[in-house]
Amino acid sequence: MLAIVGWYQASLVFPKAFRMSESLRQTIDSAQRGWVGCCWETAFGSRKLNLCGLTSRQALLAARALRGEEASCWRDAAEWLRRVEADAAKAKQLAEQAWTQATANHFMIAHDLLSESATLEAKYPLAARYRECVITLDGMIPEKNRNPGRCF
C-alpha cells in the first residue's frame, strides 16, 4: 500500500513522468498481448501449412494423427512453432525486466532489455510492438542519463 501511495504522490509531483511511465506500461502490455506465438499467415513446409493461430501442441497433435510425409511436415511445424513461442515468451520476460528497471530509473538497462525484445520480434513478420516500446522508453530518458557513445 505504501508503494502505491508513494507512486500516487510522485504522479502529482511529476505528472509528465507519470504519464510517460503509464504510456510505457501500456505499450509493453500491448506488445506482450500481441505476440504469444504465430499470428501471421504462413505457407510452411512442403504442405504449405498455414500455422496462423496454431500452437506447437496443436501441430504436434496433428503430426501424431497423421502418417508419412504429412506427419513429418507437421512435426517440423510443431518444432518451428515451439521456437516462435519461446521467442515470444523470452521477449515478454525481457520486457517485464525492462519495466522493473525503468521504474527504478535504470533507463539504459531498460533500453537494452527492450532492444533484445525487439530483436527477437524482428525475426518474424510482426508489427513492431516491442520496437514501439523502445521508442516510448527513449522519450522517458532524461538527456543527462543518455550515454553519449550510444546511438538511439
Q: What pLDDT digit, counting tens, does each position of 4-47 carry?
A: 555 455 554 444 455 668 999 999 999 999 999 999 999 999 99
Instruction: Specify the 3-state DSSP secondary structure of 1.
Output: coil
CA distance 27 to 137: 10
Res 127: pLDDT = 86
**C-alpha 68 chain-centroid distance:** 36
With a CB cutoff of 8 Å and minimum separation 6, the contacts of 3 are none
Alpha-carbon dihedral sign for residues 105, 106, 108, 113: negative
> Residues of the chain with pLDDT > 90: what percent?
75
Residue type, 91: A
Beta-carbon count within 10 A of 76 CB? 17
Output the pTM of the full model: 0.81
Q: Which residues pair with 49 in a beta bridge?
A: 44
